[in-house]
Homo-oligomer: A and B are copies of this chain.
Amino acid sequence: MEPRNDTIMKIEIISTGDELMSGLTLDSNFNWAGDTLTTLGFDVAYHTTVGDIRDRIAEAFHIAQNRAQAVIVTGGLGPTDDDLTAEVAAEYFGSSLELNQEAYDKLENWMKERGKVLSESNKKQAYLPACSTMLDNKWGTAPGFRIESQGMIFFFLPGVPTEFHAMMNHYVVPELENRAQDRMKRAMRLVKIFGLPESEVAERLRGLEHEGVTLGYRSHRPEIHLRVCSFADTESHAQKLTRDFVDEIQSRIGEYVFTTEGELLEEVVGRLLIEKSLTLATAESCTGGLLASRITDVPGSSTYFLEGIVSYSNEAKEKVLGVSESLLQSHGAVSAPVAEAMASGVRKLSGSDIGIGISGIAGPGGGTAEKPVGTVYIGLDVKGVGTSSYKYQFSGSREQIKIVSSEKALDMIMKFLIMKV
């Protein structure tokens, strides 16, 4: 890599917490912030992680102050004794902790709304460095704050990922963008691919490059995500660069691209079902409800999702879904005829237009020489169209087999909906 352009703002991220140092928690905040800020054209230059120890936190502030233009600190703002960030920040910047009345009132209110009284440990969260400006946390109890010092800015945000993300978007990103107004305009798109191996995606995209456009590649098993980001002097120019690049990706990757707008696969399926006024029901064995749970993660899914059956036992397959005993005995529960019978059983039971059935072996036990762990059958039954099924051989852990099976089922529904005129 070439040295960075010196006009780009250098950012350091400091993560604090014993649980990060000891491997108890994976630091997803840094990953998220790196993604967000790089996409926006900032130079995420350094990342330091230290445990909940005063000297080490202060040392991290000192080092960051000497090498970055903006510092984002995450963690250590909670109510417990090992939450030291506010205290260390006050001392480091030669200030002291003071009760912030606004923070206190908001905390009290937050508790009151939930029928609770402010405890002594919660009160601690309202004490902020006197030299700081409070950043109201609308998503949790720990207020954040910011401190400006010698032309630099420090942001202090909670470590809980949902709160960190919300406060990054609400306070940090707008302020950083504001401070870097001469920055180039940017246009970003997120392309998601399912069904092609990573090496094949790399092969198909070989040589694809364009000045002013960066392509970021990320394996998000079982999907591959491509981030296309263009920088130009005007927004419309940046958008055109991105659009042309995404078009070229689509023509090379074809139907394996399921979105160029960053949607979830279950969102794409939901959108298509609404567009075509069709309803869906699921019958799951090895995925154990994961498919239904993913479908119902989408707000408004109750308009097209009628019912899901998790038929773990053979008896449930017979009694609820009407899969015949003889089918189960002659082919086994993990078979094409049973997956199809599950799909049509749940479609008839629920009165939906589309039924999908999944039967497989998620492991780690239960595999045989003939049907090893990872053998999965998916059946699709559509009113007025008919029934079909496919066999797959997946690999990985129990959880990975559940995920890829549910992904394949969603993909199958999507492909049917796209082909259907």
A interface residue numbers (CB < 8 A to B)? 1, 3-4, 17-28, 30-36, 38, 44-56, 59, 63, 67, 78-82, 84, 114, 116, 119-122, 141, 159-160, 162, 190, 197-203, 206, 214-219, 221, 225, 227, 229, 282, 284, 287-293, 295-297, 299-302, 305-313, 315-316, 319-320, 349-351, 362-366, 395, 397-400, 402
Other-chain residue from B56, B160, B395 in contact with A114 (beta carbon distance below 8 A): B395
Contacts of A302 in B (CB 8 A): 312-313, 366
Measured between C-beta atoms, what is the minimum distance from A150 to chain B in Å?
20
A302 to B121, CA, bound (A): 44
Q: Are A119 and B307 in contact (CB under 8 A)?
A: no
Measured between C-beta atoms, what is the minimum distance from A14 to chain B in Å?
10
Given A19-B218, A67-B59, A227-B19, check contact A307 B297 (CB 8 Å): no
Query: In the complex this chain forms, how many copies of it are found?
Result: 2
Other-chain residue from B48, B197, B289, B312 in contact with A47 (beta carbon distance below 8 A): B48
Other-chain residue from B35, B197, B308 in contact with A24 (beta carbon distance below 8 A): B35
What are the nearest 8 A-B pairs in CB distance? A23-B35, A288-B296, A289-B292, A308-B310, A289-B289, A23-B34, A22-B38, A47-B49
Q: Are A121 and B21 in contact (CB under 8 A)?
A: no
Q: Are A315 and B203 in contact (CB under 8 A)?
A: no
Other-chain residue from B120, B215, B308 in contact with A309 (beta carbon distance below 8 A): B308
Q: Are B307 and A282 in contact (CB under 8 A)?
A: no
